[in-house]
Structures are given as structure tokens and as C-alpha cells.
A and B are shown apart, each in its own frame.
Chain A
């Protein structure tokens, strides 16, 4: 809540006071763009985009700060200035959509940081520029990046729209100083966290707030139990079968009997704070983003006292990936591509990793210099490779909001677990057709 530098938050502000009638926002944003970019100067030779300013909307979290620190390097190399508008996660989608759905060249943002539940919707709505030609023309070598990331948030319908730069695999963060042994199955894990709860410490810090915190957290329970949202055909929902029900019952049991007070209203910041203050033994969360918080003695009482583990059961967790893409509404597409090439290149990515970032290159997970600083990354590669993203349907954001809302209905006992899952299944069927 306070100045945490990471966050997939559900209720944090800094955002505009949005009018209740959402429509008005759509009308007002048109014409607000001011990219201030100069046209590329022909005389600049190897710096054709010198003097161009790129505007980008970024989530206010450590990975963004690491990139911001390195921007002078881009400016020295290309003369391109980059302005980051940093907002909490929960405000990004609602700020991006009105921009992206506007006419070509009309938008404020030149490069878009795309979370893993937007790629299908953004590309299939015709908002994004396919990058394949530019990749071929510049002979860009992307083979060092974990290839599975392109399936989650890179390629849509065979074309490359996004370049992954920041994966956030989910697993378990736990207190290694408390002699915690993560059991083999989810059922045992839930029972274990319940047994860990005492007057001084919660068995788990949980993030059960609607809409995306609870959705992201619960998907790990589903995947670790061997369940999934859809059958292989991406049409038939399986979320409400007996595996889904078991996963939800386990989740609710853990929330009611192992987690901190108010877990059903807690977002990532709340839960991370609880863990950082030493008040929770475990946390199902993003395992590679916490170097900046848990290792910071000013904000954390668990420095060097934590480690990461894969989910029990199938070892499959939910894996998110952030990627960069160029919207058709961008004013400076050429310079935007220069930025993407720069930021996703191996040397710049390695500098981010050395600061504590979450690396997208396979080799970094065995890089001695990086591992010496961030030993937990040794386990993170396996968590990444075993993990699973969201199904590549068009309306992924709608899927996540629905999941979040219905799971929260179950968590607050307004619906039974089966009713909530059935409502999700109905929506999944509807979304599969869109």
C-alpha cells in the first residue's frame, strides 16, 4: 500500500477520478495525445530517430524502474528519448483500450507493454503491428529468449506481435528459516499451511481481492491439481469439473483457515507486505519479482530468510509474461521498434537481471554472476518451464475479470463453489465463441 515498488494491485489509486459513465472517457481521450516527437532527421546518419520522444504506459513496479534507469543508454545510442507514464497495474487496461481502439496514428502511446491476458484481444482487434517483417529485415536473433514465452505472449495466429521481456512465473515463496518443507500434493500443502498458523504468524499470505489477484492466485491451485479452464479444443470448459471444484475447495479452506485476516480483500501489495513483515510462512505468488522488496532491509524483515518452490502436485503454476508491442495508433513506429530492439537485447536484459529483474533469456538462469546475487533464480527456470499461461482466446481480460468476480463470490460465501464454477463455465463457453 505505501511506497511498494511492485504491484499487481486491485484497489490502489493514483488514477484519475473516472466518471461513472465509462463512455464519456472514450470521447474525452481522443485528441489528448501529445507525443511531441520530431520526425526522423535524414541528416542524422546512424541516428535516424534522434530527437524523437516515445511515450509509454508502464506498470509502476521494479522491472519498469530497472528499465527507466537504463534509458540514458538508449538515448546515447539512438538519440531517442522515452517518457514512462507509470501507473498501478489495475489502471493500465482501462487507459490502454481507449487509446488502442482509436484511429491509426492518433494514440498517445508509441510502445505498449502488454500483459499476458491482452495479446489475443489486442492483436485480433487489429490494434497491433505485426513485427515479423521488421524482425526479418533486421535479422533479429530472438532464440535466446525462452521460446515458450512467445506462445503465451508473442505470437497470435502465427504472427509475431510482441517481444517478451519480463516473465513472472508463479509458485511458492516461503520462509526458509522456519524449516518449512513444501509437501508433495496440494491437499497436503493446504493442510500444512493450516498447521503453520499460530498466534504470531499466518500459514499463508493470500491475495483474494477481486478481480485479478484472486484469479491469478487460484489458477495455481487449478493447474497444480491438474485442472484447466478449457479442454484442449479451447471450446469446452473444464473449469467446473471435479478437479476444478477440488481446487476451489482447497483454496477457500486455505483462505479461511491459514491466511491472514482480510485475505479475501487483500491484493498483491497487501499480501506481499504481510510476508515482508515476517507475518506469514508461505505465499503463493510471483517468484521472480521480489528481490526489490523482500531483500530491502528498509521494507523487509525477511532479508535472506526466504526461498522459492514450485507448486506441489503437477508442479505447474500460472506463468505470466510481459511483452512489448507497437500499436497501430502509435505516432512513431520506427523509433518504437528501435526501443523494443534495444530493451529486449541480451546485453540490456542482462543488466536488468543483475539489478534484480526477472530475466526472459534462458542463459541467465545459469549465469554465475546473476545467480550469485539472486540464488532463488536457480529454481525459477524449472517453475517457468513447467508453468502454463492463459488460453489464447480473444477476450482474455474478460475471462480474468469473470474468474476474479465469481471466485470472490465463492470466497465471500455469496455463492457455493460449484455455483461460482458453473457461472465461470457459462462465461467461458460464451467467450470461446468470440
Chain B
């Protein structure tokens, strides 16, 4: 390119840019597009992986109806809702609190604290699940041993129907809060200092500054963080797989786990699993649209 800004050059530059993106689009099409289309088609078929009759006739929306009206789905939807709401709320509150403390001026050992709260982020969910399974083991786990020292009887953290879901929520909070802490920490660190200094001059207390200046300024970041976390919470699968396999009974079975079990763990009903996946996809897209609109509204309001 020369430095003369002719309109033709500019157009050529644009088309060049598009051409550079072609490999990416092809890759996206293969990696995302093909499975998506294949799932969508499969969800409309009688698609069983095993059995004496493996033909795949189209059966309309039967898979969707069967999946969405099953007791298992209604149960899984409820579990997913409770789990998502609980982890997102708890993690947002805890992460914001910790991030706020971490950005306090005059904090000593900030680097060490940051390192400690980041550790869970570096671990894979499978490693986290396995470690917690050992910690939570009723007879051999360290948690019950510690509680035993102060006279609390042994608890079946994952085997008791009333404790299993709260336990999973606690493990998830331990594991996933780091991401939010990181986002809030970055947000808080980059807030303009002038309003806070002005408030200080006007005699505002720390709590008043937090309540009336910091939090309102942070809202856009909080919304985005909550959106990202919510989308991943709705898809929760790995922790369930490792910790409880959906049990006791189906008390911790999420929609993702139900989809997996429908497709690969028993009935091998790929058609119904695909229908379930598409339903979940729509839920997630819906959530995304909703929250993007919220951010837009916040941006225009600001």
C-alpha cells in the first residue's frame, strides 16, 4: 500500500481483509457449523446408536416433545436452575468482595493473595472434582475428620440427598470464583480515581463510596461477568460427572448431564440427546440476548 488514500485502495484493502478471514470462516464452519447442522438434522430423526434397527427415518419434532416432556428433563431443568442461580449469585458476591479487598490501597502482600485466589482457576474441573471427592469422603476424607475434631458427626456430603446439591454448589464456588475475581479486579483497578477522591474530600465513608460510586461504575463489568458465568453454569457437566453422576437418585442431574446420559450412557438415543442439546442451545442464546440487551440499556443510560 502507498500512503495515498485513494478510495480504490481502500476498497481493495477491505476486500483483502475479508479474504484474510476466509480460512477462519472455513475453520469455524467445519468446527462449529458442521456439528451444529448434523445435530439439528439428527434431532429430527429416530437416531439410535445401537439396536437391531438402526434406520434413521425423520420423525418431526417427536424427539423434542419426548425430551422436553419427560420427568427427567423437568427434574434436570429444576436442578440446573437452582444450581446456576446459586453459583452465579454466590460467586458474584464473593468475587466482588474479594476483588474489592484486593484493590484496597496500602494492601500488603497483594501479589501473594492474588496468586492464592488464582490457583483454582489453573486446575481442570476433573482434577478439582477428584480432589474434592477425596476431601469429602465420609470415612477417609479430611473434611469429616476436621469436623470430627470439634464434635460434628460424619456427613455424607455426596451421598445424602439433602447435601449433595449444596455440596456441588460449594465446590463450584470454590473453583469458579477465581474467574470473576480476576474480572472484577481488573475492572476495579481501572476505575477512574477522581470521583472517589472527590467523595473522600466531601467526607464520604468507605461504605458510602463503595455503595454510591464504585458499584454503579462497575455495573457494566458485573453484568458481563454474570452473563459469562451464567452461560457456563447452565452447561455444568464435569463436576456432576465426577462428584455424583447425577445422584443420589437424580437429585443433582443437570440438563447437560441428562443429555450425555441419553446419548452415550444407556439408551444411546442420539436423536433425543441432539434435541436436548438444541433446546439447551436456545436457552443459552436466549439468556445471552437478554443480558446483551441489558448491557446496551446500561450503556445508553450511562
A contact residues vs B (CB 8 Å cutoff): 1-2, 10-13, 15, 17-27, 90, 93-94, 97-98, 101, 121-122, 124-127, 208-211, 260-266, 270, 273-274, 277, 279, 394-395, 397-398, 400-402, 405, 408-415, 434
Contacts and interface: CB of A to CB of B under 8 A. Distances in A.
Interface string B136-170: 01111000000000000011111111001000000
A20 B260 contact: yes
Interface of B: 34-35, 38-39, 42, 49-52, 54, 124-127, 129-130, 133-134, 137-140, 154-161, 164, 235-238, 241-251, 256-257, 259-268, 270, 273-274, 277, 280
Contacts, number: 200
Given A270-B137, A405-B250, A13 B268 contact: no
Contacts of B246: 210, 405
25 contacts: A1-B133, A11-B133, A15-B126, A19-B237, A20-B260, A21-B39, A22-B264, A23-B274, A26-B49, A26-B264, A26-B270, A97-B50, A125-B52, A126-B54, A260-B139, A263-B156, A264-B160, A264-B248, A265-B160, A397-B265, A401-B266, A409-B249, A412-B248, A413-B161, A414-B248
Given A20-B237, A94-B264, A394 B52 contact: yes
Contact of B263 (A22, A122, A262, A413): A22
A18 B270 CA distance: 16
Among A261, A263, A279, chain B packs the most CB atoms within 10 A around the CB of: A261
Contact of A20 (B35, B157, B235): B235
Contact of A11 (B161, B243, B256): B243
B273 A23 contact: yes
Contact of B256 (A20, A26, A27, A90): A20
B243 A121 contact: no
A412 B247 contact: yes
Contact of A395 (B35, B51, B137, B242): B51
Q: Which are the 9 A-B pairs with shortest beta-carbon distances?
A: A265-B159, A262-B156, A20-B256, A262-B138, A412-B248, A401-B266, A409-B249, A22-B263, A412-B161
Given A1-B137, A20-B235, A21-B256, A27 B52 contact: no
Given A17-B126, A18-B237, A20-B260, A273 B161 contact: no
A21 B259 contact: yes
Nearest to B130: A13
A411 B58 CA distance: 39
Contacts of B161: 264, 412-414
Contacts of B159: 208-209, 261-266
A265 B270 contact: no
A26 B158 CA distance: 30
Among A90, A101, A277, A415, chain B packs the most CB atoms within 10 A around the CB of: A101
Contacts of B140: 1, 273, 277
Given A27-B38, A261-B138, A397-B266, A210 B273 contact: no
B124 A17 contact: yes
A169 B290 CA distance: 56
B232 to A, nearest CB: 10
Among B133, B236, B249, chain A packs the most CB atoms within 10 A around the CB of: B249
Contacts of B138: 260-262, 265-266
A1 B280 CA distance: 33
Nearest to B257: A20
Given A101-B49, A208-B159, A398 B267 contact: yes
A27 B37 CA distance: 12
A23 B43 CA distance: 11
A261 to B, nearest CB: 4
A264 B156 contact: yes
B238 A17 contact: yes
A210 B259 contact: no
A69 B156 CA distance: 38
Contacts of B38: 23, 27
Nearest to A274: B139
Given A398-B267, A408-B247, A23 B238 contact: no
B156 A210 contact: no
Contacts of B42: 23
A208 B161 CA distance: 12
Given A23-B274, A125-B50, A411-B248, A401 B156 contact: no
Contacts of A266: 138, 159
Contact of A412 (B34, B238, B241, B251): B251
Contacts of B243: 11
Nearest to B34: A27
A18 B158 CA distance: 21
A97 B49 contact: yes
B234 to A, nearest CB: 10
A406 B235 CA distance: 24
Nearest to A434: B51
A13 B130 CA distance: 7
Given A270-B137, A274-B139, A414-B161, A11 B273 contact: no
Among B159, B236, B250, chain A packs the most CB atoms within 10 A around the CB of: B159
Given A1-B134, A13-B129, A27 B247 contact: no
Contacts of A20: 235-237, 256-257, 259-260, 280
